[in-house]
Structure 1
Amino acid sequence: MSGPVAHGLVDRDGRLVEAERPLDELNTRAGGALGQPFAVPQVAVLARLAQRLGIPVSRHVVAADGPDEIELWVRADPVEQGVRLAISGWRVRAPWTPPADTARRDRDLLVLDADWSWETDATLRLTAIGEGAVRFGIDAKKLLGKPLDALMTPKPDDNGAMPMFAVLLAHGPFDDQPATVRASGATMMLSARPRLDTAGNFAGYVGAARAVSAPAAPIGGDDALTEAFGARLDRALRAPLGRIIANADSINAQTDGPIRQDYADYAADIASAGRHLMTLVDDLVDLQAIERPDFVVAAEPVDLADVGRRAAGLLNVRAAERGVRIDKPQDIDTAPAIGEFKRVLQILVNLIGNAVRYSPDGGMVWVRTHRDRDTAVIIVADQGKGIAKQEHSRIFEKFERVDPTEPGGSGLGLYIARRLARAMGGDLTVDSAPGEGARFMLTLPAQIA
């Protein structure tokens, strides 16, 4: 589809109030209607941007239009009534689909027995690096988006030429071309097949890398592999979870226009589940760190009363949602100690968060400090259902929880908190009985004046 410029007007509340036929039809196919919030998100975003900045904004956008995609050139001009749109281009293109089965099978077979795989876009910038690359000292996170030659350098042949360069420039296939991994100096044999879009144009490479010889064992053996796995887990999950949480929160807040309340509630549930998974990722990364034999913490002056006030402030919103009040240390209270500030804060956020979770609606959580000879103490107490004495040691074990039947964390929080406390020369203990709430006590070496 192509045609003349189509004009429209989006009012200050984000509603499409005027639209010439092509724009009106596009908006209708997207589920919108005149007088309702603009339903084409890529254009609606530009309209909001122009309104917020107060200046004209012109951009090329690609929007979904049924099973196809449509390329548009959008100019958004802020006016008194809202934002005036002028949309041109209107070039329909089919969305990218995988190439023919034979080509796909060829690429699948190529990477099947590879040590690791790699992919590029049409400009030969890296878009994917297989997990096996970490064994060869390759940090995929740092290389994605960079040119292929940032990952490895082709080796010359016996005549000093580099035939792989010519093949890459011609966008052709190649097999068993020697190259050196920049990060480690390892020698690999590279093979690749071009990827084509639906129009038959070059869209990048899917490649395989095979080691000429087995890679050396990672420094640190199994510990290094565990650390690498933890780092990959963190990178693989944190960014997508962050996007899920942000988008779900945006839907729940109805920032792009009103939606049915049950849909908004579903989005809130999605955001809550995403935060739970993000906490689990944090716990697993911390677990991997604290169980390393070389794990150390800083020894710096900290004020337990000050850290307690900060931790309580971070949890005020969550407590308010439950009607729970946090009685934090007074501004004049001090409890000088020796520890690492961020680790002490991590412990207290965990303890106060647990106290809020297990407190009854309308309950109270107390945070108190004192000094006992050469030890500084901070106590977090709640009005929950309490913990039986025989459970006191179990709840500090890995993957154990006070009540496994209740929704909550991963069962790692108290285990990590106690390991951190002991790494700082202190301890974390509990005093509780059924029906009497719980008192968790963090002790650290006192700061000598």
Structure 2
Amino acid sequence: MNAFEPNLPIAMGRIGPDGRLVHAEARLADLNARAGGKVGAPLAVPPIASIARLAQRLGVAISRAVVAADGEEDVDLWVRAEPDAEGVRLEVSGWRPRAPWQAPEGDASRENDFLQAEADWVWETDAAMRITHLAAEAGTAPGFDPAAMLGQPLTLLFALEADAEGALPILTAAAEQTRFDGQIAELRGTGQRVRISASPRIDASGRFAGFSGAAVLADPGEETATDVQAPADPEFTSAFGQRLEKVLRTPLTRIIANADSISAKLDGPLRDDYAEYATDISNAGRHLLSLVEDLADLSAIERDDFTVEIEPIDLADIARRAAGLLAVRASEADVRIEKPGADEAMPVAGEFRRVLQIMVNLIGNAVRYSPPGGLVWVQIQREGALGCVIVADQGKGIAVEDQAKIFEKFGRVDPGEPGGSGLGLYIARRLARAMGGDILVDSAPNEGARFVLTLPYRAD
């Protein structure tokens, strides 16, 4: 068990331009050594190394709270990374043993979760109001690059507007280090007006370290930002689903990216069992993200005003693209996908994005339920006024009495079997029918399964 003494001085360190640890005071050096690193090698504590790299890339000082693994324990740290001509200067403070997790009650992290639930933009700044993180949840104007704003003043992103009393809420909040809401601004270069809200970030020494905020696109025709429909209203349900997707997608994406980085040992040496844990975390994150995406699609397709864009598409081309997207998964499962030839075409009417989504679902299911060494056939053919793509596998098949169940919402033949959410085929069939087509299944136990997607044939 490691001993921590939060009242000890800040531990200083320095990382060279090449990312290697040049010097570290005892406490930081010991933490790095326990993680498998040493002076002259890349910093082996991933969260500290990530902040150092970001500070060096942006050319600005960055301060953030992090959690670092120390043996079998976790420790809360506050890290300040300041780039200079010789690399990056580190200040690491805090050093508090991390208590077992419990649901937060009114703290800043919970407040930020609610703040970002409705966000079209999520952003963070340092104490000098320079952007250190920016994620766009909504579409942006052509040519606008959020990544290019990192390290720039917040006012270069948002043109601030005074309120009815001539004040700028964000400046008042910065002076008083408090939260602010309802700052109106224009997203420069796009003409889009937004409402900005943010909470202050305070470092381990009690100093103001910047803002963690969100921005929501302003609709001139909307009533008030706080108007909420009754829960029974389907409009409320859809909006809630969209907000739920936004608030979950960003943290899940970060979890997956960080876990992949740890698993690949990009930040330095790491024990093999820790790398395997990171792989498990990444896989679990991808499963949850897939479920979030299914729930978002479910919310969309069950709206009364749901529509699809009907356009001329090539069903054979989309089938080849879907097979290509699943090539790595098939290889890992020792399954071969036989896709339509490059010279084959099947002109139909539908929405490209939605048909690709359906094909990825059908071929992905075929790969999942195929035995090692199995083959998945993807073939096209015309049936009168319909263009068809057939996905056949060599899996265990589906009994006739279960074939209707697999198209039901959350329908699973064997709930205990590894698989998806039970929404994929329900969503796929709803999408196919919205485009004037359908999905059919032909299968029997121990004889594999044959799924057929049909869409209206389009004569050239």
Q: TM-score, normalised by structure 2?
A: 0.67
Cα 1:397–1:165 shift into 2, 3 Å? closer
| 2:395 pairs with one of 384, 395, 418 | 384
Unpaired runs of at least 5, structure 1? 78-84, 97-103, 112-116, 120-126, 184-192, 207-212
Quote the residue 2:61 is aligned against: 60
Q: How does 1:32-431 map to 2 (within 5 A)?
A: 32-34=37-39, 36-41=41-46, 44=49, 60-62=61-63, 69=78, 71=80, 73-75=82-84, 77=86, 94=94, 130=115, 139-142=118-121, 171=176, 218=229, 222-431=233-442
Relative contact order higher in (CA < 8 Å, ≥ 6 apart): 2
Cα 1:292–1:36 shift into 2, 3 Å? same
Report if the CA contact (8 A) 2:336-2:374 is conserved.
Answer: yes
Aligned equivalents of 1:59, 1:165: Cα separation in 2: 21
Cα 1:330–1:254 shift into 2, 3 Å? same
Q: Quick check: which has more Rg, 1 or 2? A: 1
Spell out, residue by residue over 1:12-42, the C-alpha distance to the aligned partner (whole angstroms, 9 max, x if none): 7x654xx45x546532233333465423557
Unpaired runs of at least 5, structure 2? 1-8, 69-74, 97-103, 125-153, 186-198, 213-223
Cα 1:291–1:336 shift into 2, 3 Å? same
Counterpart code for 2:396: K
2:36 matches 1:26:
no
Counterpart code for 1:376: G
Quote the residue 2:135 is aligned against: none
Report if the CA contact (8 A) 2:28-2:92 is conserved.
Answer: no
Q: Secondary structure at the match of 2:391?
A: strand
Cα 1:118–1:247 shift into 2, 3 Å? closer
Deviation at 1:415, TM superposition (A): 0.2
Q: Percent identity?
A: 50
Spell out, residue by residue over 1:358-394, the C-alpha distance to the aligned partner (whole angstroms, 9 max, x if none): 0001100000000011111110000000000011111
Aligned equivalents of 1:7, 1:144: Cα separation in 2: 28
Counterpart code for 1:416: I
Deviation at 1:171, TM superposition (A): 3.7
Cα 1:352–1:166 shift into 2, 3 Å? closer
Aligned equivalents of 1:336, 1:68: Cα separation in 2: 58
Report if the CA contact (8 A) 2:13-2:28 is conserved.
Answer: no
Report if the CA contact (8 A) 1:386-1:434 is conserved.
Answer: yes
Report if the CA contact (8 A) 2:52-2:81 is conserved.
Answer: no
Counterpart code for 1:262: D
Deviation at 1:402, TM superposition (A): 3.6
Spell out, residue by residue over 1:95-134, the C-alpha distance to the aligned partner (whole angstroms, 9 max, x if none): 89xxxxxxx99x89xx9xxxxx997xxxxxxx67559xx9
Report if the CA contact (8 A) 2:119-2:246 is conserved.
Answer: no
Deviation at 1:275, TM superposition (A): 0.8
Cα 1:205–1:364 shift into 2, 3 Å? closer
Aligned equivalents of 1:220, 1:2: Cα separation in 2: 50
Cα 1:403–1:68 shift into 2, 3 Å? closer
Spell out, residue by residue over 1:196-244, the C-alpha distance to the aligned partner (whole angstroms, 9 max, x if none): 87767678999xxxxxx99766499712101211111111110111011
Cα 1:153–1:403 shift into 2, 3 Å? farther
Cα 1:338–1:263 shift into 2, 3 Å? same
Aligned equivalents of 1:169, 1:321: Cα separation in 2: 52
Deviation at 1:298, TM superposition (A): 1.3
Counterpart code for 2:44: A
Cα 1:282–1:170 shift into 2, 3 Å? closer
Cα 1:166–1:399 shift into 2, 3 Å? closer
Report if the CA contact (8 A) 1:388-1:432 is conserved.
Answer: yes
Q: Secondary structure at the match of 1:351?
A: helix
Spell out, residue by residue over 1:15-74, the C-alpha distance to the aligned partner (whole angstroms, 9 max, x if none): 54xx45x546532233333465423557745887899x9xxx965355879766464544
Deviation at 1:326, TM superposition (A): 0.1
Spell out, residue by residue over 1:394-438, the C-alpha distance to the aligned partner (whole angstroms, 9 max, x if none): 110000124322111000000000000100001101000001000
Counterpart code for 2:356: L
Q: Secondary structure at the match of 2:274?
A: helix
Quote the residue 2:449 is aligned against: 438
Counterpart code for 1:439: R
Report if the CA contact (8 A) 1:59-1:75 is conserved.
Answer: no
Cα 1:44–1:396 shift into 2, 3 Å? closer
Aligned equivalents of 2:399, 2:356: Cα separation in 1: 27
Aligned equivalents of 1:437, 1:268: Cα separation in 2: 31
Counterpart code for 2:309: A
Aligned equivalents of 2:46, 2:358: Cα separation in 1: 42
Q: Secondary structure at the match of 1:442?
A: strand
Aligned equivalents of 2:13, 2:374: Cα separation in 1: 60
Report if the CA contact (8 A) 2:55-2:83 is conserved.
Answer: no
Report if the CA contact (8 A) 1:323-1:362 is conserved.
Answer: yes
Report if the CA contact (8 A) 1:340-1:424 is conserved.
Answer: yes
Aligned equivalents of 2:241, 2:266: Cα separation in 1: 35
Cα 1:388–1:9 shift into 2, 3 Å? same
> What's the RMSD between the two structures over aligned residues?
4.8
Cα 1:150–1:333 shift into 2, 3 Å? same
Q: Secondary structure at the match of 2:373?
A: coil
Q: Secondary structure at the match of 2:377?
A: strand
Q: TM-score, normalised by structure 1?
A: 0.69
Report if the CA contact (8 A) 1:197-1:203 is conserved.
Answer: yes
Report if the CA contact (8 A) 1:143-1:150 is conserved.
Answer: no
